[in-house]
Amino acid sequence: MSLREELEKLFGDNFHDDLTSRLSHSSDMGFVPELVWSGIKLKIVPDYVVYPKNVEDVIELVKLAAKYNVPITPYGRGTNRYGNAIPADGGILIDFSKMQNVSVDENERVAIADPGATWKLVDIYAQSKGLQLRTFPSSYDSTVGGGIAGDALGIGSYEFGFISDNVSFVDMINTKAELVHLEGKDLALACGAEGITGVIVRAGMKLKPFTPYEAMVISYANLDQTVKGIGEFYREVVPAWHIQVRGPGISSYIAEKFKAKLDQGKWNMVILYPSSRSTLVEPKLYRIAQSTGGNIFEGEWTGWWSFNHGVNAALRTKGMLVHQHGLIHYTKLRELLESMEKLLGKLGMITPDGGYDVDIDLEKREVLLVNAFTEVSVSPVDKKVIYDLAKNTLMMEEFIKAGGSLLSIGIFAHKYTKNRLSAMGKTFSDYGIDRFEYISKYKEQTDPEEIMNPGKVLDPQRRAKEVLEIPKKQNEALKLRFGIGLAKKLAPGGEVDGYKFVSNYLGDFADFGLKCIDCAMCVTVCPQYRLIPEWPYAPKGMFDMVKGAIAYYYLNGSIDIPDSTIAEISGCHKCGLCDGVCPAKIPISTLLIKLNAAVAKKAPDEPAVDLPLISDASLADVVDNSSESVLFVGKNIINNPNVAIVALKFLKMLGLKVRLVGTTGDSGFMDYISGNGSILMDKMKKNFDMFSNTLEVITLAPEDYKTMAVAYRDYSNFAKANSMFDVIPFDIRLLKAVNVDGNGEEVNLHVACFSSDYADEAMKRLRDKGFKVKKIEGCSGAILERNLGRRADVMARTLGERYGKIVTLCPLAAAKFRSVGIQAETLIEFLAKKVGIAVDEYVITSFKVSDEEKKQLQASVSASILSSLMGRTDIMVETLSFSSSGMDEYKKIIEPLINDAVEEMGNSIAAKIDDLINKASASGGNKVSVAAAYVRALSDLMSSIQLDQVIQPLVSTLKSKTTDEFDEKTVISSIVTLIRQNESRIKDIVARKIST
């Protein structure tokens, strides 16, 4: 067996090697992908992603990594900025999203946490027991495993020091797949090692009794007063918990963005202390303020502005930031800041043209964590950005010159590792431990093959040697110390090609993906991520995918992002909770809706299938073509026609008559969500004609309700339709008319995306009837995704496992749930049983394309695409010299060639599918149903196939036919882009051909 086969066998659904999963784990808060764009071939895209659920899983995973000599990278939430959690040599990435267990030992005052638990989660558990964390990183939504591995400091460090000062034990799996228990001095092997010595699987965090806090602020007019004030805090030994100093520019931005109680334009020292100590702390604060010329006032410590990521959010909205963390002794602060001012511009003013500001945490051993921020003057995807990123190196050097160190090493600063671990990290000095030597020796003895997180902390000897190119870039930056501006001015600019290419697929989403500050707040509130704790389903993971995709383009020479990948990241419920917490104010849900629309736009019109709904003669008298009420079944109900039969039975019971629009009815839903306005209006006009003299249209599918109730009303003026009927969901009509006694029965009511407008009314009416209703959200993806990606199936299974029996407002969701073995029924079917209406299974004589037939179809499609292109190689060779002009120009040159090829592809694929349809029909299948099944299968296949892989033989042929050099990347990218742009045309050609 291969490594891939063993991983899949061992971890099943928790193993992934799809493009979506890999790309979403290729970025953090820093700018490692930008280094790849600049030419350093860091293999930051993992080959495999695994989500272990327990310690045993991790042990088995490490055994496999050792067996196949493949590197491992542990991943929490990717909120650091030094590449600590990003692969440097591909391999296996371990995402701990499914290891988030927390327990609290009240007697020992210790929280025992899995590595994937966030500090916020641990604090919540602790507070439920009357305790709380002593200290935690400023990235409150980062993970325990990541915080310990980085040995961060942050909130509470003035009293309690570094994270390593507050760890009681760590359980770690080393390279030999042994479970190692670390306490005391041995914690030096895990704390600050950044995962190079083993994988943290459990840790104990020290707690303290919970106490409410008070906050005071001392503001200073200048740096001299601020430096004096910091010194006084250490001399006075103020019994505070946390002290943070915000520079004048940062103070202004945070006050404006988050309404923080800070003096704008001044240095603000925020002091947080337990209320019980107020009589000890406050007199000293007033004394310090008076002696140092400060203005003291009551403050607060609430909201996102409180933590360092709040600073990032406030500043990032003005432009891309270069941000460096460093540790120095407090007596060196003035020296550091003045030297930085000479290099970066005025302190306290951040503009694209220069300047910088700082945010400072005080630590108990007179160490300061200084966060320095400066702004980039160009777009993050501008070719010149590498010159602005050189400012990071300059700041790094100034920390060292001031006798300090970096907070973290990652892949960037191996030459400063000893300084960080031993000189500034004093946690283990009481044990007589040189942490640098301790980690280095252990690494050498236990991991000579450098399997554990290679390329980080220590210079690589065997793998990930590409990281050694980073110091070369840094040295170049130092040589250009006084010429960075001139070099940037002379260098050619413009957007990097990879960004242009990725934007062709993702549009605005790519732009906003680069504005994400990677704070992970969206992850914490995301209901989809709580149900499916996998990174592509969290907004941050979706945005990280953008940078990963651009990097992939440079690492592999091309990238094709199929619609299945886009459907995978954009198929959530669009609840909008992420919008509400995003500090950068990114309209996440709106962007996801646009991505959904882009996928939907390429879906072909499937042949309509007219299913017989009045097979029971007793239902015939329900249909009255003169009725002013219409029951709109619609084409989507073909996936669950049973609900239409039950609806007709209800109407008979209620003595109502309707005009019936069966499974050939088309509301235009797909055109509505994809923005095909002209096609939608054509369908609307047709339906308006059909609904003449209609007072109400009763819908079964939420999708049809949404289209008619919202889109029809919005578009009616443009369609010149003067009359508008009422649109009523059948569920609501039923709840108003039927009397049933819920008698306290519990109902897990699934609210599908497009039923949200009437879900509250449905729940209220159910509760009024005596049911105990629990609302369940989660998009089943029944229409928008279908067979694209795996999110829909995972979501359905997860909801079923969590809630057992599900009642849904969406007939399509019910069919989706049942298809993966979940007990589910529509609300209509649920109520039918309550009033004694028989709910029989509707036997569909439909056709299903088998997995083997899908494989044959994929081979045929790939062959047709390649054949159509290969027939044009002689002409294409003549165009290769123009590839050096870039993708935009080269696309214009070959566009007529690709357009001809696309026509040929469509005809060729149609002919092959037509043969398959005829064979299936000859075996007794209904030809319309067979055709619809094959059109759907082709659409799914075209949306999933990776075209850059399909056309590799074409590139080889072109190379063999010319001796001239050409830009292979431009050629592949241009061809792939043009085919993708014509994807819907191919589908339509096929649908049209096989329908005639």
SS (H, E, C) 742-772: CCCCEEEEEECHHHHHHHHHHHHHHHHCCCE
pLDDT at 633: 94
Strands of the sheet containing 726-729, edge to edge, are 659-661, 629-632, 696-699, 726-729
Residue 572 contacts residue 537 (beta carbons within 8 Å) = yes
Query: Strand pairing of 356-362 and 267-274?
Result: unpaired
Percentage of the chain exceeding pLDDT 70:
92
Indicate where the chain has its CATH 3.40.50 domain(s).
666-834
Residue 488 contacts residue 387 (beta carbons within 8 Å) = yes
Cα(500)–Cα(484) distance, rounded to whole angstroms?
26
Residue 530 contacts residue 578 (beta carbons within 8 Å) = no
Bridge partners of 726?
A: 696
Bridge partners of 661?
A: 632
pLDDT at 912: 87
Cα(980)–Cα(865) distance, rounded to whole angstroms?
12
- Mean pLDDT of the region 544-557: 91
State the residue for tokens 């061809």.
975
**Alpha-carbon 444 to chain mean position:** 36
pLDDT at 423: 67
Residue 968 has pLDDT above 80, yes or no: yes
Phi and psi angles of residue 239, each rounded to the nearest 5 degrees, phi first: -80, 55
CA quadruple 392, 393, 399, 405: dihedral, nearest 10: 100
- Mean pLDDT of the region 374-398: 80
Cα(953)–Cα(955) distance, rounded to whole angstroms?
5
- The 10s digit of each residue's pLDDT in 799-846 is 888 888 999 999 988 888 887 888 899 999 999 999 999 887 655 445
Residue 341 has pLDDT above 70, yes or no: yes
Task: Give the DSSP H/E element, type plus range, for residue 827.
Answer: helix 827-834
Q: Higher-confidence residue: 356 or 429?
A: 356
Can you read off the two tokens belonging to residue 958? 């072109």
- Give the torsion sign (CA, 931, 933, 935, 937): negative
Residue 348's nearest CA partner among 481, 515, 221, 483 is: 221
Residue 726 contacts residue 697 (beta carbons within 8 Å) = yes
Reported in sequence order, the residue ranges of 814-971 that DSSP labels E, i.e. its strands, are 824-826
The single-letter DSSP state of residue 82 is S
* Number of H-type helices and E-type strands within the chain: 43, 28
Contacts of 388 (CB under 8 A, 6+ apart): 322, 376, 377, 378, 484, 488
Bridge partners of 325?
A: 371
- Mean pLDDT of the region 897-918: 88
Cα(611)–Cα(608) distance, rounded to whole angstroms?
9
Q: How confident is the model at residue 314 (pLDDT cuts 50, 70, 90)?
A: low
* Distance set, CA 752 to CA 401, 573, 676, 777, 806 (Å): 59, 8, 23, 7, 12
CATH number given to 497-601: 1.10.1060.10
Q: Which of 165-174, 391-400, 785-794, 893-902 has the lowest mean pLDDT?
A: 785-794
The most confident of 165-169, 610-614, 950-954, by mean pLDDT:
165-169
Cα(655)–Cα(352) distance, rounded to whole angstroms?
72
* Distance set, CA 397 to CA 153, 275, 425, 477, 936 (Å): 21, 41, 18, 11, 59
Q: How many CB atoms lie within 10 A of CB 166?
A: 24
Q: How confident is the model at residue 767 (pLDDT cuts 50, 70, 90)?
A: very high
Q: Higher-confidence residue: 307 or 97?
A: 97
Cα(921)–Cα(927) distance, rounded to whole angstroms?
5
Can you read off the two tokens belonging to residue 850? 């088998």
- Mean pLDDT of the region 16-20: 92
Can you read off the two tokens belonging to residue 472? 């070369």
Burial (CB count <10 Å: 0-12, 13-18, 19+), residue 936: middle
Q: Higher-confidence residue: 103 or 938?
A: 103
Cα(118)–Cα(308) distance, rounded to whole angstroms?
16
Cα(82)–Cα(457) distance, rounded to whole angstroms?
10
Residue 714 has pLDDT above 80, yes or no: no
Angle at 569 between CA 566 and CA 573, to 5 degrees: 120
Residue 598 has pLDDT above 90, yes or no: no
Strands of the sheet containing 824-826, edge to edge, are 772-777, 746-751, 806-808, 824-826
Cα(39)–Cα(198) distance, rounded to whole angstroms?
30
The most confident of 17-26, 46-55, 81-90, 296-305, by mean pLDDT:
46-55
- Mean pLDDT of the region 608-614: 78
State the residue for tokens 């003299």.
693
Cα(138)–Cα(81) distance, rounded to whole angstroms?
13
Look up the pTM and report it: 0.86
Query: Strand pairing of 405-406 and 321-329?
Result: antiparallel
Phi and psi angles of residue 710, each rounded to the nearest 5 degrees, phi first: -110, -60
Residue 317 has pLDDT above 70, yes or no: no
Residue 233 contacts residue 243 (beta carbons within 8 Å) = yes
Residue 343 has pLDDT above 50, yes or no: yes
Can you read off the two tokens belonging to residue 152? 């961060």
Residue 74 has pLDDT above 60, yes or no: yes
Bridge partners of 180?
A: 172
pLDDT at 524: 81
As a whole number, the mean pLDDT across the chain is 87
The distance in angstroms from the start CA to the end CA of the chain is 48
Cα(393)–Cα(739) distance, rounded to whole angstroms?
73
Cα(329)–Cα(335) distance, rounded to whole angstroms?
11
Question: What CATH topology corresponds to 666-834?
Answer: Rossmann fold (3.40.50)
Cα(289)–Cα(111) distance, rounded to whole angstroms?
37
pLDDT at 265: 95
pLDDT at 304: 42
State the residue for tokens 């084409």.
635
Strand, helix or coil at 216?
Answer: strand
Residue 288's nearest CA partner among 361, 216, 352, 365 is: 216
Bridge partners of 131?
A: 209
pLDDT at 92: 98
Query: Strand pairing of 746-751 and 772-777?
Result: parallel
Residue 920 contacts residue 768 (beta carbons within 8 Å) = no
Percentage of the chain exceeding pLDDT 90:
49
Q: Higher-confidence residue: 528 or 742?
A: 742
Residue 454 contacts residue 93 (beta carbons within 8 Å) = no
pLDDT at 808: 93
- Give the torsion sign (CA, 379, 380, 384, 385): positive
Residue 784's nearest CA partner among 930, 568, 633 is: 568
* Distance set, CA 442 to CA 164, 359, 793 (Å): 18, 35, 44
**Greatest extent of the chain over all pairs of C-alpha atoms, in Å:** 96
Burial (CB count <10 Å: 0-12, 13-18, 19+), residue 623: middle
Residue 676 has pLDDT above 90, yes or no: no
- Mean pLDDT of the region 66-73: 97
- Mean pLDDT of the region 306-315: 60
Residue 663 has pLDDT above 50, yes or no: yes
Q: Which of 25-34, 239-248, 394-403, 480-489 has the lowest mean pLDDT?
A: 480-489
pLDDT at 429: 79
What is the Cα Rg of the chain in Å?
31
pLDDT at 311: 67
Residue 362 has pLDDT above 90, yes or no: yes
Contacts of 608 (CB under 8 A, 6+ apart): 635, 663, 664, 666, 928, 932
